[in-house]
Amino acid sequence: MFNKEININLNFLQTRSPQLIGVDISPSSVKMVELSETGKDKNTYRIERYAIEPLPKDAMLDGNIVNLEAVGETLERAWNHLGTRLRNVAMALPAAAVITKKIIVPAGQREDDLAFQVEAEANQYIPFALDEVNLDFQLIGPAPNNPEEVEVLIAASHKEKVEDRIAAALTAGLKTVVMDVEPYAAQTAFELVERQLPNGGMDQIIAVVDIGSSVMGVNVLLNGQSVYMRDQPFAGNQLSEGIQRCFSLSPEEAETARRNEQLPGNYKADVLNPFCEALALEVARAMQFFFSSTQYTEVNYIFLAGGCAAIPGLDEIVAAHAQVSTLIANPFADMALSNRVRPKLLSVDAPSLLIACGLAMRSFDPS
């Protein structure tokens, strides 16, 4: 999304960009991914390097940066750990920070005419003045029922939401080239995951459940298009809070102990298993919301993403509760790995790198 100033502000849906690093700033950490293309075939990638750096508590609030200095310092540490020379980055805004709307317009318009129409349409859907927002649009393709019309996605965000992320990157010596929206970035990376399904997942209804630190995002896809999106207030911080309560640890100590698997023997029975059961019930509830809100009556696959997706056995617990085949989202499963990437560690971290991977893929989009 947002990557350069124009009259209707910052083309944040454009895709052409230089080689860059995908940077995901989540409430709990900064994640960076660098990819390269391999061989003559397009869309064949190698993961060159990645880094995950924890953010100080309260550096972010509801997806917004509240401590610019702390986020900038964390970005710099992550970049140093990455060990790259690249300084161009792609970042993303949380869905809650962006207003999106699909509209239908006549096909064959010149770009400046289309931009004028988008700005006129945006006035109807954006509840604040256009000079306060970054606004962009992207052609999706032919309209479903009329070949003489096209579907266009409009996206807008308050300028300060974009500028805060750009400023944090600048303090780390990084240049923001692209600003996307998190669910769309994850959707880009999920194309790599879909390839792992029979027939590339064609005509299958697939729910991507991203279990973040503060919210659980559900995005249901059909043939690469989102047909349903919803956030639910259940997330990984509830596991961290359970660890803190049970073992009298600070938030930082709880997160370190969990990641390093240094918790007491009763952790699994008293904290982890109840959390997994509650999470599985929440996923099953999310599927019921999907069925009651759309014309669809089944889901063929659930893919778990986010930091909690790597919990051993969680996919089986979710499958039992939701009665849907459940898998772990790993966009790197078919990628070549550079010698800087440790395969075992990547397999654990992969589900939490979906957004950063999708952002890194913006380097190679030909459109």
- Note the pLDDT tens digit of each residue in 61-80: 888 899 999 999 999 999 99
Taking phi over 0 as left and psi of -120 to 50 as alpha, with beta for the rest, 49 belongs to beta
Among 135, 157, 184, residue whose Cα is nearest residue 5: 135
**Are the C-beta atoms of residues 152 and 105 closer than 8 Å to each other?**
yes
Q: What angle do CA 163, 168, 169 make, to 5 degrees?
A: 100
Q: Tell me: the pLDDT tens digits for 22-48?
A: 999 998 899 999 999 886 666 789 999
**Cα angle, residue 179 at apex, residues 342 and 99 outer, rounded to 5°:** 125
Per-residue pLDDT tens digits for 168-188? 999 999 999 999 999 889 999
Q: Which of 205, 200, 202, 233 is nearest to 219 (CA)?
A: 205
Confidence of residue 366 (pLDDT cuts 50, 70, 90): low
Fold of 21-100+158-184+353-364: Nucleotidyltransferase; domain 5 (3.30.420)
Closest alpha carbon to 174 in 266, 90, 94, 300: 90
Residue 202 has pLDDT above 90, yes or no: yes
Mean pLDDT of the chain: 88
Looking at the predicted structure, is the pLDDT value of residue 5 above 50? no
The whole-number average pLDDT for the span 311-338 is 96
How confident is residue 6, by pLDDT bands cut at 50, 70 and 90?
A: very low
Query: Are 102 and 58 in contact, with CB atoms under 8 Å apart?
Result: no
- Extents of the domains making up the chain: 21-100+158-184+353-364, 197-330
Of the chain, the end-to-end C-alpha distance in Å amounts to: 13
Residue 276 dihedral angles phi and psi, to the nearest 5°: -65, -40
Best CA proximity match to 350, nearest among 330, 334, 336: 330
Q: Which ranges of 30-136 would DSSP assign to H, the alpha helix? A: 68-82, 111-125
Banded pLDDT at 341 (limits 50, 70, 90): very high
Asked whether 82 and 34 are in contact (CB, 8 A), the reply is yes
Pairing of strands 175-181, 88-93: parallel
Q: Which fold has domain 197-330?
A: Nucleotidyltransferase; domain 5 (3.30.420)
The answer to whether domain 21-100+158-184+353-364 and domain 197-330 are alike in fold is yes
**Confidence class for position 17, pLDDT limits 50, 70, 90:** low
The closest alpha carbon to 357, from 321, 336, 330, 337, belongs to 330
Residue 201 pLDDT more than 80?
yes
The residue among 263, 260, 211, 212 whose CA lies nearest residue 242 is 263
pTM, rounded to two decimals: 0.87
| Share above pLDDT 90 across residues of the chain, in percent, rounded to a whole number | 60
Dihedral, CA of residue 133, residue 141, residue 4 and residue 54, to nearest 10: 80
Nearest 5°: the CA angle 59, 64, 69 is 40
**Residue 17, token pair as written in the block:** 């960009």
Indicate the residue type of 223. Answer: N
